[in-house]
């Protein structure tokens, strides 16, 4: 709460700037979040694209090599190859030559079946010769090469054989004394695989095809060299997309395994290449926010000149008026809203000076005199009638009645003449009003019946303005009941609710609806009051004491006369 109070106490210029910043900050945060969400989507798209490229290239490799290995299995049953590897020594020369030529044609076809095959050859130990696709004649047998390529491969390992830094896929057949009858082998073109990897990879990326025994790689211009430890780490990478770090440089890596070749194809793109456009966009967001802050400052300064300066001149003028200096006159050169306010302020100051000089003091003194007069007034007519009653009672020698009347008169005049007391308890006010009704009951004898209820215990000590109930009762006697020859009724009772105390004063004197409406309008201030009556004074004093919801409410009563409800709110009790 203290920080809000401090912010609320700031001048208008900082508050305007702070308000704009508070509005702009969530928008800037949303912009950053949207940027990050967009960046994540772009990263996912790039990762998906990279993964698709890796999967496509691996499918191409798998398709080529799978076709090559199926062709090798088919050539195992070649008729010419079977004859040359088993009966070449007894075959006629012409037939043997024709079989070799047909076998060489088959090797040429096998060599051309894939761009990744550099050479296709058949090792025939019985002939001690090698029939190859890229040779114009039969090549001499290489026993070391034959033995190395005849070694069987494990089913779960790569099908490649490495000999003299050359890569082969082999298919031996018919082992006799640990030597196959013949061996079909295709040599893989390392240059072609590397070239294809280079075409497949993007700028500054790394593309690696690796097996347990061989690694082909294509490195971008700025890519680091792959040492043995790095190659081992890359070969151990699991299938999928992830981030890796090589030589303190981050890469986005995508790995695809081959179930056919038991190899892994991985491609790595520098993260900075992927995120550089995103970083540029993020920087533009910060630039936009900085520009917005500068715009806010400029706008706040313009608001200072347009609003704050004229407003401060108004504040200073009002401060002088609060100090009682009514010689204030403000000038404004434009005809906008502030021009209107300045004009009205000058008019208001002139009107205030006139009111203070001509009206305020007079009305204030009149109101004080009105209240004092209400507290001290005594109806001379009532006083004369009382003395006349005393005279008659004394004449009839009615000592008891004289004592009762004298007692009520004493209490009445004792209460009415206490000018120094502005407020009394409701119990005291009710006791005074009851003494007044007792005096009037003696005066009118059997003509008027008075029923005066007791004050509720909860409201006895409620402080109310003095003389709020007796003027209402007096009004009932003077204007209504005094004219009744008999059967007059006056009731006074009290009722409490949760929020207010209701005092009902009702008589049977008879009254017209128009008169009730006119009296209620006078009480509500809807008509000009030239003469202040007792009820109007009571109504105003109750509202001064208890607020606008207090006062008198007039209506027709059940006895055919006027019913007055005195409303006293209890919220301040």
Average pLDDT over residues 170-176: 84
Among 544, 147, 218, which residue's Cα sits nearest to residue 367? 544
**Is the four-CA dihedral 312, 318, 319, 325 of positive or negative sign?**
positive
Q: Please state whether 156 falls in left (phi above 0), alpha (psi between -120 and 50) or beta.
A: alpha
H helix intervals, 304-379? 309-322, 337-355, 361-376
Give the pLDDT of residue 387: 57
Q: What's the per-residue H, E or C state across 532-571?
A: CCHHHHHHHHHHHHHCCCCEEEEEECCCCCEEEEEEEECC
Q: What is d(CA 286, CA 29) in angstroms, rounded to the nearest whole number?
A: 11
What's the rounded Cα separation, in Å, for the pair 476 and 563? 10
pLDDT of residue 366: 53
Give residue-wise pLDDT tens across range 91-102: 898 998 899 889
d(CA 561, CA 564): 10
Q: Tell me the pLDDT tens digit for each residue of 195-244.
A: 888 877 666 778 888 777 777 777 765 666 667 676 667 667 788 888 88
| Residue 500 to residue 490: CA distance in whole angstroms | 23
Report angle CA 72, 68, 157 to the nearest 5 degrees.
90
* pLDDT the model gives residue 34: 78
Among 350-354, 473-477, 485-489, 565-569, the minimum mean pLDDT is found in 350-354
The residue behind tokens 């906008």 is 336
Which range, 117-126, 202-211, 528-537, is most confident? 117-126
CA distance 260 to 156: 9
Distance CA 465, CA 123 (A): 131
Q: Alpha-carbon distance 262 to 212, whole Å?
A: 8
- Predicted confidence at residue 529, as pLDDT, reads 47
Exposed/middle/buried for residue 265 (C-beta within 10 Å: 0-12, 13-18, 19+): buried
Distance CA(537)–CA(266), nearest Å, equals: 100
Cα gap 534→330, rounded to integer Å: 47
pLDDT in tens, 421-453: 678 888 888 888 888 888 887 777 778 888 888
| Cα 156 to Cα 211, 212, 240, 400, distances in angstroms | 11, 11, 21, 135
Average pLDDT, the chain: 77
State both tokens at 159: 């099908």
Q: Residue 538, by phi and psi: left (phi above 0), alpha (psi -120 to 50) or beta?
A: alpha
CA distance 51 to 531: 99
Q: CB within 8 A of 495, min separation 6: which ones?
A: 501, 502, 504
Taking alpha carbons only, the member of 396, 476, 401 closest to residue 433 is 476
Q: How many CB atoms lie within 10 A of CB 152?
A: 9
Phi-psi region of 262 (alpha: psi -120 to 50; beta: other; left: phi over 0): left
The DSSP bridge partners found for residue 268 are 206, 253
> Residue 404 has which token pair?
């009762």
The backbone torsions φ and ψ at residue 225, rounded to the nearest 5 degrees and listed phi first, read -70, 145
Helix axes 361-376, 534-546, angle to 10 degrees: 110
32 pLDDT more than 50: yes
């Amino acid at each position: 709460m203290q920080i809000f109070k401090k912010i609320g106490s700031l001048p208008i210029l900082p508050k305007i700037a702070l308000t704009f910043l508070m509005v702009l900050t969530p928008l800037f945060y949303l912009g950053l979040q949207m940027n990050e969400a967009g960046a994540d989507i772009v990263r996912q798209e790039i990762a998906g694209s990279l993964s698709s490229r890796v999967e496509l290239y691996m499918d191409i490799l798998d398709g080529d090599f799978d076709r090559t290995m199926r062709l090798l299995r088919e050539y195992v049953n070649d008729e010419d190859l079977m004859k040359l590897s088993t009966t070449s020594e007894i075959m006629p020369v012409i037939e043997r030559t024709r079989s070799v030529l047909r076998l060489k044609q088959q090797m040429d076809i096998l060599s051309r079946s894939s761009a990744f095959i550099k050479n296709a050859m058949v090792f025939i130990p019985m002939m001690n010769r090698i029939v190859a696709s890229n040779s114009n004649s039969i090549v001499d047998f290489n026993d070391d090469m034959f033995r190395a390529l005849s070694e069987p491969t494990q089913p779960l390992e790569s099908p490649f054989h490495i000999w003299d830094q050359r890569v082969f896929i082999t298919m031996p057949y018919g082992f006799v004394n640990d030597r196959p009858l013949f061996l079909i082998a295709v040599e893989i073109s390392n240059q072609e695989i590397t070239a294809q990897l280079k075409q497949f990879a993007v700028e500054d990326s790394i593309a690696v095809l690796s097996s347990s025994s061989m690694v082909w790689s294509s490195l971008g211009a700025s890519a680091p060299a792959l040492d043995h430890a790095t190659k081992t780490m890359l070969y151990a990478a699991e299938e999928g997309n992830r981030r890796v770090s090589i030589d303190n440089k981050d890469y986005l890596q995508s790995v695809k395994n081959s179930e056919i070749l038991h190899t892994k194809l991985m491609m790595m793109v520098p993260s900075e290449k992927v995120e550089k456009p995103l970083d540029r966009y993020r920087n533009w967001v910060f630039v936009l926010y900085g520009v917005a802050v500068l715009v806010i400052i400029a706008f706040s300064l313009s608001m200072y000149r347009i609003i704050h300066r004229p407003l401060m001149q108004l504040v200073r003028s009002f401060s002088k008026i609060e100090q009682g200096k009514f010689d204030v006159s403000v000038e404004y050169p434009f005809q906008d809203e502030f021009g209107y306010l300045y004009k009205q302020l000058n008019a208001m100051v002139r009107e205030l000076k006139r009111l203070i000089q001509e009206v305020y003091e007079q009305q204030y003194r009149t109101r004080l005199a009105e209240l004092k007069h209400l507290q001290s007034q005594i109806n001379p007519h009532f006083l004369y009638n009382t003395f006349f009653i005393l005279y008659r009672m004394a004449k009839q020698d009615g000592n008891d009645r004289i004592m009762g009347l004298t007692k009520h008169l004493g209490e009445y005049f004792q209460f009415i003449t206490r000018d120094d007391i502005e407020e009394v308890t409701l119990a005291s006010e009710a006791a005074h009003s009851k003494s007044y009704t007792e005096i009037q009951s003696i005066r009118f004898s059997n003509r008027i019946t008075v029923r005066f209820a007791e004050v509720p215990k909860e409201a006895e000590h409620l402080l109310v303005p003095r003389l709020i109930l007796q003027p209402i009762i007096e009004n009932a006697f003077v204007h209504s009941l005094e004219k009744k020859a008999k059967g007059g009724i006056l009731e006074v009772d009290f009722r409490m609710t949760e929020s207010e105390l209701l005092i009902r004063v009702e008589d049977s004197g008879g009254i017209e609806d128009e008169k009730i409406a006119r009296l209620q309008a006078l009480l509500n201030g809807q008509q000009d009051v030239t003469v202040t009556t007792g009820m109007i004074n009571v109504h105003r004093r109750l509202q001064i004491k208890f607020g606008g919801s207090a006062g008198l409410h007039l209506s027709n009563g059940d006895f055919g006369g006027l019913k007055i409800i005195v409303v006293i709110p209890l919220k301040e009790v």
